[in-house]
Amino acid sequence: MAENLYYVPRDMERERAILVGVRQKADAGGDTQPDGGEQLGELAQLAWTAGADVLGKVLYRDREADAAFYIGKGKVDEVKRVCHELGANIVIFDGELSGVQTRNLEDELDVKVVDRTALILDIFAGRARTREGKLQVELAQLNYNLSRLIGLGGQLSRLGGGIGTRGPGEKKLDVDRRHIRRRILAIERDLVKTRERRERTRNSGRMSSMPIVAFVGYTNAGKSTLFNALCDADVFTENKLFATLDPTARKLPLPSGGGVIAIDTVGFIDKLPHQLIDAFKATLEESVYADILLHVVDVSNPDARAQMEIVERILSDIGAVNKKTLVAFNKIDLLEREPEWLRFWRHAPTNAGDGGVLYASAKTCVVSAKTGQSLDALKRALAELAQEEYIKLDVLIPYKDGGVCSYIRENASILHEEYTAAGVAMKVLLGRGHAGRLRRFTSQLNDAGAGTG
């Protein structure tokens, strides 16, 4: 697992991390778990993705945060002892720290301290590949740092690499509020222009394109793997969180004829930083404007149901509700048998504690993107949802309008074709956006009295 670090440079030594988070009520043991345990599992995955090896975990009771140290002085001493014993050089908190708390903790622990938000932002900074994606991440980091200038002090100008230093924080050592605000305004202006271009492209595409299906789901649920399997695409995939940030669109042919435009989107996660939601709003809007949502769920994950609720909550927050939805329970190949909760959910999704906003009329499929299990059934279910976005037309294209035949062959499925004295008679299945251009040829068909069988 140490190989394929993706964006972590080969010559960069992996950091040694201690995780700090709330002790779950079910944990009856001690607060300190140097050897791991099930708690903070997602934070451990985030840390690994960012380039850190987790050496231990320190858990504290869920109570009001300490203004100076977040966890209280006594627990700080325990964290310091664990860091010394295990040789850690970074402490990662599952909550969100203020600038003052970060500074106080670093002074006391004598190691680098980052919180969950900074960790996720750092991963995004390394994963972004397009210019827009990099600008969105930088905007999120700048907004995060702006609210912490007083407490962070020299942290924004510290030298070196590793978690918490990638992105704008290491570009300019003497960064201050004025510089950050100027940069924020410049990025926002740039992103507005990009969003306007995307909106124009989206609007022009809607006049002539197929229905849009947005692949959504919790990070590492297998969206990109499923996307590749269905669309014969080559989107980057890896068994790490946030392997895909930038949306990718491909045509997905359907067995009933016609097709859809499939869009692979960024994965969601619990406690997704609001800075990222704001910065990636244009990317997340692909779900808002989609005609159909394909919600991919990692059914092998013990927290699958909770992850489904998190996805629904985020989709609701960005306005992607009341849409046709197909739920793909993925990675079934990793289970010996279908879980009891899944059998119950498939029969009564609105009574399964998932809110009902997204799943009230959802279709479901149990699949494996890796092995190809039940992908044909998934395509058929998708075709049923998409068929309402298509219409069938009988048209007669005069030979002098041969260019229209090329248009039909490119944008529609031809169910029947016949050459007559008056022209080419066709029965076609096409998206509603195409129908207006062909209406006059349906009247010619009636006038000519031709049939297509």
Q: What ranges in 149-297 are assigned the alpha helix state H?
A: 149-152, 177-206, 223-231, 274-279, 281-289
Separation CA 286–CA 141 (nearest Å)? 23
SS3 call for 98: coil
Residues of the chain with pLDDT under 50: 1-11, 27-37, 159, 169-173, 207-208, 351-357, 445-453
Residue type, 436: G
Cα torsion through 424, 425, 429, 433, rounded to 10: 70
Check: CB of residue 276 under 8 Å from CB of residue 241.
no
- For residue 214, list its beta bridge partners: 263, 293
79's enclosing H/E stretch is helix 73-86
Cβ neighbours, 10 Å, residue 188: 12
Q: Closest Cα partner for 32 from 73, 75, 66?
A: 75
The domains located in the chain, with CATH, are 15-122 (3.40.50.11060), 207-387 (3.40.50.300), 389-448 (3.30.70.240)
Contact between 292 and 330 under an 8 Å Cβ cutoff? The reply is no
Q: What is the pLDDT of residue 246?
A: 65
Query: Residue 18: left if φ>0, alpha if ψ -120 to 50, beta else—which one?
Result: beta
Tokens representing residue 101 in the block: 């708390």
Q: What is the pLDDT of residue 243?
A: 56
| pTM exceeding the 0.75 threshold for the entire prediction | no
- Quote the longest CA-to-CA distance of the chain: 92
| Strand-pair partners of 70 | 66
Question: What's the confidence (pLDDT) of residue 351?
Answer: 47
Q: Give the pLDDT of residue 349.
A: 59
Task: For the chain, give percent helix, strand, coil, nearest 5.
Answer: 45, 20, 35
**pLDDT reported for residue 208:** 46
> Which pLDDT belongs to residue 353?
44
Contact 145/168 with Cβ under 8 angstroms? yes
Give strand pairing partners of 217: 296
User: What's residue 393's pLDDT?
Assistant: 87
CA angle 220, 202, 257 (to 5 degrees): 75
- pLDDT for position 38: 58
148-191 pLDDT tens trace: 775 555 555 554 556 766 655 444 445 567 888 899 999 989 98
Count CA atoms closer than 13 A to 136's CA, side-chain side: 28
